[in-house]
């Protein structure tokens, strides 16, 4: 017999935990990296989480696929 597993809500981390640990600029750098590597869906998901807590300079635009290139692209270390 299989037991139903309950979500371990106490062990989940959120975007506020990540920004507290690594800093908002590191998170923004990760978003930029995801966009430049073509992983726009993942990048937009993080942007939406930041927007929900009021920490996103440019809220995610649903369906937006604009990728900055050249001098306009964010610099990722």
> Residue 25: which domain range?
15-57
Query: In this predicted structure, what is the pLDDT of residue 56?
Result: 64
- Provide the whole-model pTM: 0.59
Query: In this predicted structure, what is the pLDDT of residue 53?
Result: 85
Query: In this predicted structure, what is the pLDDT of residue 9?
Result: 61
Q: Which residue ranges in the chain fall short of pLDDT 70?
A: 1-10, 56-77
Residue 67 lies in a domain: no
Query: In this predicted structure, what is the pLDDT of residue 59?
Result: 46
Which residues neighbour 60 within 8 Å (Cβ) at sequence distance 6 or greater? Answer: 44, 47, 48, 51
Report residue 38 as tokens: 């073509």
- Number of folded domains that form the chain: 1
Measure the CA–CA gap between 7 and 10, rounded to whole angstroms. Answer: 9
Residue 73 lies in a domain: no
Residue 51 lies in a domain: yes
Query: In this predicted structure, what is the pLDDT of residue 65?
Result: 47
Find, among 77, 34, 33, 28, the residue nearest to 56 by Cα: 28
């Amino acid at each position: 017999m299989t037991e139903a597993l309950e979500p371990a809500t106490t062990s989940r981390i959120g975007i506020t935990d990540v920004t507290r640990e690594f800093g908002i600029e590191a998170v923004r750098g990760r978003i930029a990296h995801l966009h430049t590597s073509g992983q726009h869906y993942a990048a937009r998901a993080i942007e939406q989480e930041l927007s929900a807590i009021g920490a996103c300079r440019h809220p995610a635009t649903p369906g937006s696929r604009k990728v900055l290139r050249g001098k306009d692209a964010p610099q990722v270390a």
